[in-house]
Amino acid sequence: MHYFPLQVRQHNSIFMTLKKLLFIFLFNLGFFAAFAQRGEIGFHATMTEYLGHLNDKNYEIYKFRFLKPGGGISLHQYLSSSLRLVEMATYNGVQYQTPDKLASVDADVFSLNVMLKYRFDNGYILKEGALFAPYFIAGGGATYLRSTYFAQGRYTSLPYALSGNLTAGGGVNIRLTDWLNLDISNTLHMPIYDGWDGVVKKFNNMYLQHSAGLLVTLRWPADDDGDGVGNKRDRCPNTPPGTSVDRHGCPNDKDGDGITDDEDKCPLAYGPAYTRGCPDRDGDGVPDVDDKCPDVKGLRRLAGCPETQTTYVEPPKYKPVPVRDRDGDGVPDDRDKCPDTYGPASNNGCPVTTTTTITTVPRKDSDGDGLTDDRDKCPYTYGPASNYGCPEIKAETKRRLEFATRGIFFETDKAIIKSVSYKMLNEVLSIINEYPDYAVRLSGHTDNVGTDSYNISLSQRRMIAVKEYLVSKGISSSRLEAIGYGESMPIATNTTAIGRAKNRRVEIELFLR
pLDDT level of residue 489 (50, 70, 90 thresholds): very high
Q: Which of 310, 304, 336, 307 is nearest to 323 (CA)?
A: 336
Residue range 97-125: mean pLDDT, rounded = 89
Lowest mean pLDDT among 138-152, 366-380, 498-512: 366-380
| More reliable by pLDDT, 362 or 65 | 65
Residues 183 and 42: beta-carbon distance below 8 Å: yes
Residue range 356-375: mean pLDDT, rounded = 70
Q: Is the dihedral of CA 345, 351, 353, 358 positive or negative?
A: negative
Res 212: pLDDT: 96
For the entire predicted model, the pTM comes to 0.42
> How many beta carbons lie within 10 A of that of residue 309, not counting itself?
11
Residues in the chain, total? 513
Provide φ and ψ at 20, rounded to 5°: -65, -45
DSSP-based three-state secondary structure for 264: coil
Q: Which of 480, 396, 410 is nearest to 443 (CA)?
A: 480
Instruction: Kindly list the distances between the CA atom of residue 327 and the CA atoms of 247, 330, 352, 491, in Å, as whole numbers in the listed order.
Output: 88, 8, 15, 61
| More reliable by pLDDT, 502 or 251 | 502
Q: How far is residue 410's CA from residue 148's CA, in Å, rounded to a whole number?
A: 79
Average pLDDT, the chain: 81
Render pLDDT for 223-281 as a digit per residue (tens, 0 to 9): 777 766 777 677 777 777 777 777 777 777 777 777 777 777 788 777 787 777 788 88
CA 86 to chain centre: 35
| More reliable by pLDDT, 200 or 140 | 140
DSSP-based three-state secondary structure for 182: strand
- Residue 255, burial from CB neighbour count under 10 angstroms (0-12, 13-18, 19+): middle
pLDDT level of residue 211 (50, 70, 90 thresholds): very high
DSSP-based three-state secondary structure for 447: coil
Res 19: pLDDT: 53
Q: How far is residue 28's CA from residue 51's CA, in Å, rounded to a whole number?
A: 32
pLDDT level of residue 335 (50, 70, 90 thresholds): confident
DSSP-based three-state secondary structure for 452: helix
pLDDT at 198 over 60: yes
Res 313: pLDDT: 47
Render pLDDT for 342-351 as a digit per residue (tens, 0 to 9): 788 878 878 8
Render pLDDT for 314-334 as a digit per residue (tens, 0 to 9): 555 554 555 677 777 777 877
Strand-strand pairing, 206-217 and 83-97: unpaired
Contacts of 10 (CB under 8 A, 6+ apart): none
Residues 149 and 195: beta-carbon distance below 8 Å: no
Res 309: pLDDT: 45
Res 20: pLDDT: 53
pLDDT at 79 over 70: yes
What does 8-55 look like in DSSP terms, one character per residue?
A: ---HHHHHHHHHHHHHHHHHHHHHHHHH-SSEEEEEEEEEEEEESGGG
Looking at residue 350, the DSSP 8-state letter turns out to be S
- CA dihedral of residues 166, 168, 174, 175 (deg, nearest 10): 60
Res 238: pLDDT: 73
pLDDT level of residue 353 (50, 70, 90 thresholds): low
| More reliable by pLDDT, 39 or 133 | 133
